[in-house]
């Protein structure tokens, strides 16, 4: 049975065009690409939230390796870091669909608080984020973008903009035993999804208006445990020590399309990769930030995960992620690039519990490969996508045609999935 809660600010209907949702005031027919679900009028999620404890001092990663089978009870098994509220680790992860297009959706809110962010192709050269919220939630902070530039205010953070679902979301949901949050989906998509909530926007003229309060997100996390049971996540492996065998990686240029280019640039001071993206013009690169805090988006690990893509139509792609014995991956951490593999093959845990585990990363011999404690950003690209070392440039022609082994400037160029 599909667990579906319908949360609405207003009872709106949303349809999808070229991967971007636009609200309309009239009902859609069942033949429309994206059949909106009619939410219960003026409904709200009536679940009490257990308050989080007062913030604790800054927490840091342990110097000891963690995982892959067991973790200390106060450590998040999806990022290898201690949490402030260990009770949150009992609740299933929430997987929230967050927009990357149109450009007006940026900067998004909540991405930096997720232990894992997936970026995947949704068609027409665009990508979307599926963000795994698990562990600690954002707390009240000073508003980063106040209307009155001379003052700041304290407010409850919101997450989003939330957008429509994709078939691949169900595979990721199963791997993380989680619960989906999205702004509806096409009928043929929603029929293949389980355990999800539809959350709609508040402004008919604004495709970015679906912003969920953190208190609502936290309430949903607590209530979903009744349906899915306590979270039991394992399989990932973390170590602060820099692995041997890497190659210099000062940056990663990721080309999804000419109007969707991304740079991950290594910041030596923080030991993380920071994200930059063009303004859908192929030329002007802007540093990505977290809307809640205004801080740069920084990932301890950037993984390029190669997987088979099957394009059913121009705006929906089915990506094979389940029961894969060994797929290719690239890991960028600590200014180094590593060739490794990913797996979702069933082993003793799956056979014994009947549940799946998160994506695991292994070396050529099948041994767990360590990620750096912290956020992991997974860029999913089609199998056989070419990658190489290019030149230090922001000009498309130079990047695409540059070939400079040993430069440390890596390029991954995606071609339209078939």
* Structural contact between residues 227 and 196, judged by C-beta atoms closer than 8 angstroms: no
The pLDDT score that the predictor gives to residue 418 is: 82
| Cβ-proximal residues to 244 (8 Å cutoff; 6+ apart), any chain | none
Q: How far apart are CA 8 and CA 168, in angstroms?
A: 24
H helical segments located in 177-300: 187-190, 214-228
Q: Which helix (H) or strand (E) holds 213?
A: strand 212-213
Q: How far apart are CA 172 and CA 162, in angstroms?
A: 17
* Structural contact between residues 180 and 195, judged by C-beta atoms closer than 8 angstroms: yes
- Both tokens assigned to 117: 């962010």
Q: How far apart are CA 173 and CA 97, in angstroms?
A: 11
The pLDDT score that the predictor gives to residue 59 is: 54
Q: How far apart are CA 37 and CA 187, in angstroms?
A: 9
C-alpha angle with apex 114: 349 to 177, nearest 5 degrees? 30
| Cβ-proximal residues to 398 (8 Å cutoff; 6+ apart), any chain | 390, 391
The pLDDT score that the predictor gives to residue 53 is: 36
Q: Which helix (H) or strand (E) holds 329?
A: strand 327-333
**DSSP tag of 40:** P
Per residue of the chain (418 residues), give pLDDT as tens.
444 433 433 333 333 333 333 333 222 222 333 333 333 223 333 333 334 433 334 456 777 899 999 999 999 999 999 999 999 999 999 999 999 999 999 999 999 999 999 999 999 999 999 999 999 998 866 554 555 555 555 678 999 999 999 999 999 999 999 999 999 999 999 999 999 999 999 887 898 999 999 999 999 999 998 888 777 799 999 999 999 999 999 999 999 999 999 999 999 999 999 999 999 999 999 999 999 999 999 999 999 999 999 987 767 799 999 999 999 999 999 999 999 999 999 999 898 888 899 999 999 999 999 999 999 999 999 999 999 999 999 999 999 999 999 999 999 999 999 8
The pLDDT score that the predictor gives to residue 150 is: 54
Cα maximum dimension of the chain: 60
Percentages helix, strand, coil for the chain (3-state, rounded to 5) are 10, 35, 55
* Structural contact between residues 374 and 272, judged by C-beta atoms closer than 8 angstroms: yes
Neighbouring CB atoms inside 10 A of 220's CB total 24
Q: What is the pTM of this model?
A: 0.84
The pLDDT score that the predictor gives to residue 30 is: 29
The pLDDT score that the predictor gives to residue 232 is: 76
Neighbouring CB atoms inside 10 A of 285's CB total 16
Q: How far apart are CA 130 and CA 216, in angstroms?
A: 18
| Cβ-proximal residues to 401 (8 Å cutoff; 6+ apart), any chain | none
What's the length of the chain?
418
In terms of Cβ atoms closer than 10 Å to its own Cβ (0-12, 13-18, 19+), residue 51 is: exposed
**CATH code for the domain defined by 1-44+59-418:** 3.50.90.10
């Amino acid at each position: 049975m599909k667990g579906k809660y319908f949360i609405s600010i207003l009872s709106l209907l949303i349809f999808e065009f070229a991967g971007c949702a636009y609200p309309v005031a009239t009902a859609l027919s069942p033949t429309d690409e994206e059949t909106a679900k009619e939410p219960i009028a003026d409904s709200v999620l009536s679940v009490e939230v257990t308050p989080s404890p007062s913030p604790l001092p800054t927490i840091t990663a342990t110097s000891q390796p963690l995982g892959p089978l067991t973790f200390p009870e106060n450590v998040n098994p999806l990022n290898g870091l201690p949490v402030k509220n260990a009770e949150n680790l009992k609740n299933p992860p929430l997987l929230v669909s967050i927009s990357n297009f149109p450009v007006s959706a940026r900067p998004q809110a909540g991405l930096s608080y997720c232990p894992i962010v997936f970026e995947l192709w949704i068609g027409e050269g665009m990508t979307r984020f599926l963000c795994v919220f698990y562990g600690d939630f954002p707390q009240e902070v000073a508003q980063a973008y106040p209307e009155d530039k001379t003052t700041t205010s304290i407010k409850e953070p919101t997450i989003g903009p939330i957008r429509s679902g994709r078939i691949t979301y169900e595979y990721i949901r199963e791997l993380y035993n989680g619960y989906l949050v999205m702004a509806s989906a096409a009928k043929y998509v929603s029929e293949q999804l389980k355990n999800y909530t539809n959350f709609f926007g508040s402004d008919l003229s604004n495709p970015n208006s679906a912003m969920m309060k953190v208190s609502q997100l936290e309430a949903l996390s607590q209530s979903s445990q009744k349906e899915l049971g306590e979270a039991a996540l394992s399989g990932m492996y973390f170590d602060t020590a820099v692995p041997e065998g890497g190659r210099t990686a000062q940056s990663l240029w990721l080309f999804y399309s000419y109007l969707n280019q991304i740079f991950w640039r290594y910041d030596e001071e923080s030991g993380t990769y920071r994200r930059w993206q063009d303004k859908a013009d192929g030329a002007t690169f802007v540093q990505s930030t977290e809307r809640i805090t205004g801080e740069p988006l920084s990932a301890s690990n950037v993984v390029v995960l190669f997987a088979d893509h099957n394009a059913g139509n121009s705006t929906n792609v089915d990506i094979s992620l389940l029961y894969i014995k060994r797929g290719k991956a690239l890991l960028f951490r600590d200014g180094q690039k590593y060739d490794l593999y990913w797996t979702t093959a069933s082993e003793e845990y799956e056979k014994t519990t009947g549940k799946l585990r998160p994506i695991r990363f292994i070396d050529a011999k099948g041994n767990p490969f360590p990620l750096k404690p912290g956020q992991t950003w997974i860029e999913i690209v089609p199998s056989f996508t070419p990658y190489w070392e290019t030149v230090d440039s922001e000009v498309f022609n130079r990047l695409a045609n540059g070939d400079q082994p040993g430069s440390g400037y890596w390029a991954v160029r995606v071609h339209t999935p078939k």
